[in-house]
Homo-oligomer: A and B are copies of this chain.
């Protein structure tokens, strides 16, 4: 727990923000202190609600002068406890909601940190463009959080992560100064790219207050299929062929093991199996093209040749928009689908794409040996090497007993990941939850450098102090 915040600091923060700019009302605080799945509960002496970048700077300035710690929070959708204060001042970006610009000629929009991802999508659409980052929590998660956690999602394969969508940032640095880095440039080689440090810094290097973001053209054609296949090896081969044959027009390539597929169909209402028979593995593949009709043609061609070569066993191509959505719901239902099965350990790992089959094989064997009867649901953004590897308790087993073994189980999965030169957090970040574990896997030379950078920019370690190294 962070040391208590002096009463004088609280008074000055309240004074600078004025009415409506802060709260200590337990009801107002509750949704910001409770992690959305209920796994963590935080506390704070004061919720600050700055309305402008200037007010953020005033808050951080007071805290810096007094050596008081701050936890920034966006939509509170994080999965690794990076946004939950434990005694720090809680700085919410919810009132930084301005859409400063949306420009279809520059293909840029400038949004403040508290704008939700849903609104970002809508704003992009309003000028006939597309913002490509998409995650399940889009109604709640915000631009500041997406930047600070370098969010991933389903379109990374083609467009890259949040990092690749950011052209410029405005942020309040840990000393309370405003950095105006809201450029709209596609090229700018004038020294270290400071924004790259703040992207994915989980709020430890300052508070992101606004971002200028890339817009992409809409694509004229789009086609989705679910295919059944024999192994992750075949899926990797299919991915390589898909990228090759379509010239990189693969928009999504999501692998799903039979168990997760089955649980989702069973437990999520309104879904049905698009394929007549059962397969050990499935892939949802989406192709999109700027050419009208080209996506459908390319997908048909790809599937025909893959069937002929025996790379896939069966395939169903969505014939309507509704069917396309239904296919996606099977993939998106994978978390909800396993929930009724009870406690599960969740791992968000990445390995080089070609190593996915060996990762799954080794992890399955190790988990089966150590925890007999547990059930593996492996799925994810295989085109990015990103596997969501979930281990559900044995059927009829005890939730608490399973939860108690979570860390030991994670060690097994993460050791194999590290051995394959992978990452123990592909897209969720480290937060307060995974930081200590990550230290064990990180190159010590890198760790020293990262700590030196943090100390250089935040010598008092007041920004999200419990998070990252």
- A interface with B by C-beta (< 8 Å): 103-108, 128, 149-150, 152, 156-157, 160-161, 163-164, 173, 177-181, 183-194, 196-197, 199-201, 205, 216-220, 236, 240, 243-249, 288-291, 294, 297-298, 350-354, 381, 383-386, 421-430, 434, 438, 441-443, 445-446, 448-450, 452-457, 468-469
Query: Could you say which residues of chain B place their CB within 8 Å of the CB of A150?
Result: 189, 193
In angstroms, how far is the closest chain B Cβ from the Cβ of A217?
Answer: 5
Tell me how many chains of this kind the complex includes.
Answer: 2
In angstroms, how far is the closest chain B Cβ from the Cβ of A388?
Answer: 12
Q: Choose among B106, B156, B220, B425 the residue that contacts A186 (Cβ–Cβ < 8 A).
A: B156
Contact A191 B450 (CB under 8 A): yes
* Cα A456 to Cα B180 with chains together (Å): 22
In angstroms, how far is the closest chain B Cβ from the Cβ of A132?
Answer: 10
Contact B156 A438 (CB under 8 A): no
Contact B427 A187 (CB under 8 A): yes
Q: Choose among B104, B187, B434, B456 the residue that contacts A350 (Cβ–Cβ < 8 A).
A: B187
In angstroms, how far is the closest chain B Cβ from the Cβ of A331?
Answer: 17
Contact A105 B438 (CB under 8 A): no
Query: Could you say which residues of chain B place their CB within 8 Å of the CB of A445?
Result: 173, 177-180
* Cα A448 to Cα B422 with chains together (Å): 35
Query: Could you say which residues of chain B place their CB within 8 Å of the CB of A217?
Result: 243-244, 246-248
Contact A426 B298 (CB under 8 A): no
**Closest B residue by C-beta to A186:** B384
* Cα A122 to Cα B163 with chains together (Å): 29
> Besides the contacts A106-B353, A217-B243, A218-B247, what 13 more A-B pairs have beta carbons closer than 8 Å?
A105-B236, A156-B187, A161-B187, A179-B445, A186-B384, A193-B196, A196-B196, A247-B289, A247-B291, A289-B289, A289-B291, A294-B294, A453-B453
Contact B187 A384 (CB under 8 A): yes
